[in-house]
A = this chain, B = another copy of it.
Amino acid sequence: MTEDKNADAMMDVEGGDSWNTFKSFLAANDLRVTSQRQAIFRAAYYSDDHFTAEDLLTKARQIDRSVSRATVYRTLPILTESGLIKEVDIGKDYLFYVSHRNATTFKAQVICKDTDRIIEVDAPFMEWYGKAVAARLGMQVVSMRLQIEARPSDGVEVPEVPSASRENG
């Protein structure tokens, strides 16, 4: 049940057939295509915002009732390793994730202390800077994160950014 055509139908919405990317990744790693993985993939990849494992469980269950928490936790590493989503650790007790659609350059996170909103900001310069810092220590960058906790300046209203938690730099 939940034939491929469902996912295939929406695969071109974002311009790339990411569903096929995912299926290929599964095949390449001798992993099976299950209805649960498909539901979790869809819920995650087409999310417009940062989400937690619990969020993802809820969304995936709206697609396929049989999805369990354990399977969500077991599928998240597959999605991150396939590059379809990105893990975002902002130092809370739980992790966030974001769909990696369109992501090309390095992103920093601005975390609003008042609203808890996470804003992904292009910071291409950081890629160079990180490499330089690491090189000075004779090391190669594996990964990197820049996070800025901030709050609205006095008198400035936080703008509503409907369905777009990404900004350009």
Residues of A in contact with B (beta carbons under 8 Å apart): 89, 91, 108, 110, 112-113, 119, 121, 123, 125-126, 129-130, 133-153, 156, 158-159, 167, 169
Does the CB pair B152–A133 fall under 8 Å?
Answer: no
Measured between C-beta atoms, what is the minimum distance from A45 to chain B in Å? 23
Does the CB pair A139–B121 fall under 8 Å?
Answer: no
**For residue A140, which residues in chain B have a CB less than 8 angstroms away from its CB?**
150-153
Does the CB pair A142–B133 fall under 8 Å?
Answer: no
**For residue A148, which residues in chain B have a CB less than 8 angstroms away from its CB?**
130, 133-134, 141, 143-144
**For residue A156, which residues in chain B have a CB less than 8 angstroms away from its CB?**
138-139
**For residue A126, which residues in chain B have a CB less than 8 angstroms away from its CB?**
146
With A140-B152, A142-B149, A145-B145 given, name 10 new contacts (CB 8 A). A110-B139, A113-B142, A121-B137, A123-B133, A133-B169, A134-B148, A137-B150, A138-B153, A138-B156, A144-B148
Chain B residue at minimal CB-CB distance from A87: B91
Neighbour of A110 across the interface among B112, B125, B133, B167, CB < 8 A: B133
Which are the 6 A-B pairs with shortest beta-carbon distances? Answer: A139-B150, A138-B156, A89-B91, A142-B149, A134-B150, A143-B149
Neighbour of A149 across the interface among B113, B136, B141, CB < 8 A: B141
- The complex places the Cα of A58 from the Cα of B20 at a distance, in Å, of 52
Question: Can you pick out 10 interface pairs between chain A and chain B where the beta carbons lie within 8 Å of each other?
Answer: A89-B91, A110-B133, A134-B148, A135-B153, A138-B156, A140-B150, A140-B151, A140-B152, A140-B153, A141-B148
